[in-house]
Structure 1
Amino acid sequence: MTRNLPALIGWMAGTLVSFSALAVSIRELQGRFSVFEMLSLRNAAGLAILLGLALARPDLRATLRPRRVPLQVFRNVVHFGGTYAWAVGVTVLPLALVFALEFTTPIWVAGLAVLVLGERLTGPRIAAIALGFLGVIVILRPGASGLQIGALLVLFAAMAFGVTTISTKALTRTESTFAILVWMNALQLPMNLAGADPLFWTRIPDAPLLPVLGICVLGLSAHWCLTNAYRYGDAILVVPLDFLRVPLIAIVGFALYAERLDPFLFAGAGLIIAGILWNLRAEARA
């Protein structure tokens, strides 16, 4: 069900552009900064923006005190590992491959919800998991080209994002979305700085401006746009629109980096999204 189709399309357009431009920003800066350094920059900028909002908005500031510290720490350790693995994948794999494999996250969520939250293992969930697994096999074709370490890293990232989704679902019972974002950046900043050159900040003035700005703001803008999209439409509408990230980033990768348009990738991604939509439709009817 959609509550405002033009608003839904507008927020999803912002989501698609933000995620795609973030990947390009990482690719453009990979020769100047390590992944730890790029993620440190992202966390520092995100924290500065959010704390600035907290200073300007007393109502936001009042929500910052964490109520479930162990779960906050667990969520951010897992998310840190997933984000690092995803960013490494962006630097070594075709961009469309990264995005297609990342779409297995809802499959991981479906499986983890059964194992961790005790939710029922329904027929549509089994079908979604099976189609997701089949889609990954079609995309990677392990017997034809072997498994690349970068692809395994992105699959790990998708699994980590699945754990993060389950953890976030639990956190939202007691914490505001704003507080979750603030603590995400505050906790992950020192984790990334631990692997960064202490003087990497001195290289920022010599780096191209647009990719640096992209690293700083696009992660926040992508999640902000996606969150608002869910306000105007149900998941059964949002997920297919979000899937447009795959052909969009494939075109970007082809235009900027001469990356091949792989029909197996689109076929496998289609299987993954079919499984996700099957499960979403079944849950909407339940």
Structure 2
Amino acid sequence: MLNDRHPVLVAALWMTGALFSFMAMAVSGRELSQDLTTFQILFFRSLIGVLLIAALLARSHHGFAQLRTRRTGGHVLRNIAHFGGQYGWFYGLAFIPLAEVIAIEFTTPIWTALLACTLLGERLTLPRLSALVLGIAGLLLILRPGMGSLHPASLAVLVGAVGYALSYIQTKSLAATETPLCILFYMTMIQLPFGLIPSMVEWQTPPLHTLPWIILVSVTAMSAHYCMARAFKLADATVVVPMDFMRLPLIAVVGFLFYDEIIDLPVALGAGLMLAGNLINIRAEQRKAPSRATATQTTESPQ
């Protein structure tokens, strides 16, 4: 039984589920991009997500009563930003190596820290500043501006990372009054028309062979959220977050095996700088306020 094992070991098992979910979501997104537009992928993901969240609500203690909210505007703002983040991420999957998508996505903590200082008045401490400097240096290594043409998909993923950061700031505010299931439910409901309306402009009926990929991208999106949340409940951020950085080498292996992609040295070095910066910041936050650092991380994962 999992309950009889050490909490850190159980957290590691939950993070293993999260990592496999992220990898499956990336592969399914890449496969679907051959037949569907990015807007269609996001529409079907939200459609199936609504059904999954509704089933979880029906089984939860407070049921659908937890959906009562006085913060509709906050949910809308959060999901405009989150939808932009998702669009950039899935768009990037179609055009650039999987490892590059994940590496650029790891800039999200940089933008989150900058936005928290600007919008929430949080202090830019030395560890946070170190993470920013190392993160920006890593980003420049990956994008290599001035070293040739920059693929638009790389910029889309970068803008998407800023969108994720904005959504995290708004989630921090919403989490004070809303349950996680409430936030996820409104995420799927609000983003459903965001994906549907643009899809109708050039609607393409999904071929039958895409159905397993549509189901997989939708289920793994929710399972990644769930597994990470469970891991953060059992272990500190300093334990769980470094496991999340395993996504980069793992997705590089997937890209090599399935798509003949080779991760180049600048991407690896850039990702390493981002990893170092984030770990410095995480350890500093953990020493300052262990319980608060962990609680903040449980609200939401990058996708």
1:270 aligns with 2:272: yes
Question: How much is the aligned-residue C-alpha RMSD, in angstroms?
Answer: 1.6
Name the structure 1 match of 2:62.
59
Name the structure 2 match of 1:120.
123
The aligned length equals 283
* TM score, norm. by length of structure 2: 0.89
Consecutive unaligned residues of structure 2, counting only runs of 5 or more, are 1-5, 289-303
Give the 4+ runs in structure 1 shifted more than 4 A.
198-202
Equivalent in 215, 229, 232 of residue 213 of structure 1 = 215
- 1:34 and 1:55 mapped to 2: Cα distance? 32
Counterparts of residues 197-276 of structure 1 (less than 5 Å): 197=200, 202-204=205-207, 206-276=208-278
Closer, same or farther in 2 for the Cα pair 1:120/1:199, shift >3 Å? closer
Local SS of the residue matching 2:261: coil
Closer, same or farther in 2 for the Cα pair 1:76/1:43, shift >3 Å? same
Counterparts of residues 96-175 of structure 1 (less than 5 Å): 96-175=99-178
Name the structure 1 match of 2:196.
193
Name the structure 2 match of 1:77.
80
Equivalent in 1, 4, 7 of residue 4 of structure 1 = 7
Consecutive unaligned residues of structure 1, counting only runs of 5 or more, are none
- One-letter identity of the residue aligned with 1:218: T
- 1:55 and 1:226 mapped to 2: Cα distance? 22
* TM score, norm. by length of structure 1: 0.94
1:93 aligns with 2:114: no
- 2:202 and 2:125 mapped to 1: Cα distance? 52
Identical-pair percentage:
43
Name the structure 2 match of 1:47.
50
> Do the aligned residues in 2 keep the contact of 1:60 with 1:178 (CA within 8 Å)?
no
Q: Output one character per residue of 1:181-234: Cα deviation in whole Å (capped at 9) or x when no partner.
A: 000000000011011138958535x12443122122110011111111111111
Query: Which segment is superposed worse, 276-285 or 241-250?
Result: 276-285
> Do the aligned residues in 2 keep the contact of 1:110 with 1:125 (CA within 8 Å)?
yes
Closer, same or farther in 2 for the Cα pair 1:80/1:10, shift >3 Å? same
